[in-house]
Amino acid sequence: MTPDVAKQQMASEVDARAARLLSVSHRIHETPELCFEEHVAHDLLCSVLEEEGLEVERSAYNLDTAFVARAGRGGPHIAVICEYDALPEIGHACGHNIIAAAGLGAGLAAAAMADKLGGQVSIIGTPAEEGGGGKCYMLERGAFDGISAAMMVHPANHELTSMSTIAVEQLEVTYTGQSAHASASPHKGRNALDGAVLGYMNVAALRQHIRPDERIHGIFTRAGDKPNIVPHEAAAEWYVRSPKLDSLTELRERVVSCLEAGAAAAGVEIECQCKAPIYADMIDSQVMLEFYTRNAAATGRAASEPRSSYAVVGSTDMGNVSHAVPSIHPMIKVAPDNVAIHSPEFADYAKSQSGDQAVLDGAKMMAMTVADLWLDPDALDRASEELAVDRQ
């Protein structure tokens, strides 16, 4: 079978399931679930896969809301990734309902064609991308062992070959002081909130002297109980981001020094802990992106490389996967240019007609890219060699 015929059939497999895929997207959007709590999405996706005749491992790799389904008996083994967690308060403002449904569609289309084309596919459900590091745990536990390449598509406000992904570490910071009556005996207290505020101010000053492609942002998660009690405990959460893991380590040390200085000035104790797995930078396979870009064009979408004026900058645990196997993480346009992800407006677009179109187009583009990788005998070797060079 020629690649063109194979890809036409892949697209037809997606079209045949269009109503079901959009129903899945809408259901997940209507039921936003946070990190590691995505039970509705997990059960829904697994049920659809089982109804399509695939054997599904639910609660895979010791994670309640992870899953994997496989098809094919030999040949190159490609993973299609589903994400489905939401954000606090603003629900699916990152459009993971689209990621889940598009991944499901691509995986089912590939599963239907696997034996004809001589390849294998795994549809992998990965919980807790929004800070929980689900893929990191799954990677450590063998979910990507034997996988030749991995892919997913992410909704955005631009059509891009890749996300400008940088490494991130999440810090959980606690301050411990001494409570006292704030009016009667303030001199007996040691104000933990002062330590947190002074540390925040130090980081604010540090921001003037970091690289343009680095980011630091934090919030207070505990700040005392009542104004007339000197806060004996305070807490904060910080994200430290830098383009590469090496530079992330250097920046983290500077941030921690700022926070520790605030605690010292206030006379309180401080403890900094890494809250979740560190997310690595994303290594995008150019070999895979060449296929994807052509397939995007065939679907009526023109994916371009990110530029400073319209790049989507962020972090993802897909970066960790990309350091292990050749991977791509392209962005598919869902919203107007001026509507950014992680906004309530973007959540509305994730359930709109343009969001629905992204589900179907994204599924087709990934399914066709799977066909390319199965049918080009040298592509995966080239992608592996490219990755080896990029990791150096």
For residue 317, the enclosing domain spans 3-165+281-390
- Cα separation, 126 vs 218, whole angstroms: 26
pLDDT, tens digit, 9 for 90 and up, residues 260-279: 999 999 999 999 999 889 99
Q: Do 266 and 293 share a structural domain? A: no
- Cα separation, 357 vs 225, whole angstroms: 48
Closest CA to 259 of 247, 250, 270, 248: 270
CATH at 237: 3.30.70.360
226 contacts: CB under 8 Å, gap ≥ 6 = none
Residue 80 pairs in a beta bridge with: 123, 151
> What is the tally of structural domains in the chain?
2
Reading the block at residue 52, the tokens are 């399509």
% of residues, the chain, pLDDT over 90 = 95
Q: Do 296 and 244 share a structural domain? A: no
Q: What is the pTM of this model?
A: 0.91
Q: Which residue, 224, 246, 274, sits at the end of a domain?
A: 274
Closest CA to 277 of 143, 136, 103, 114: 136
> What is the mean pLDDT of the segment spanning 25-34?
98
Q: Do 152 and 286 share a structural domain? A: yes
pLDDT, tens digit, 9 for 90 and up, residues 63-77: 999 999 999 999 999
Confidence of residue 308 (pLDDT cuts 50, 70, 90): low
Q: Do 304 and 215 share a structural domain? A: no
Q: Do 303 and 174 share a structural domain? A: no
Q: Do 93 and 10 share a structural domain? A: yes
Q: Do 343 and 253 share a structural domain? A: no
320 contacts: CB under 8 Å, gap ≥ 6 = 133, 135, 136, 139, 277, 279, 280
Confidence of residue 392 (pLDDT cuts 50, 70, 90): confident
Q: Do 291 and 159 share a structural domain? A: yes
CATH at 286: 3.40.630.10
Q: Do 173 and 197 share a structural domain? A: yes
Strand residues in 64-126 grouped as ranges (E): 67-71, 77-82, 120-125
- Cα separation, 203 vs 205, whole angstroms: 5
Q: Which residue, 247, 274, 301, sits at the end of a domain?
A: 274
Q: Which residue, 257, 274, 291, sits at the end of a domain?
A: 274
Q: Do 198 and 135 share a structural domain? A: no
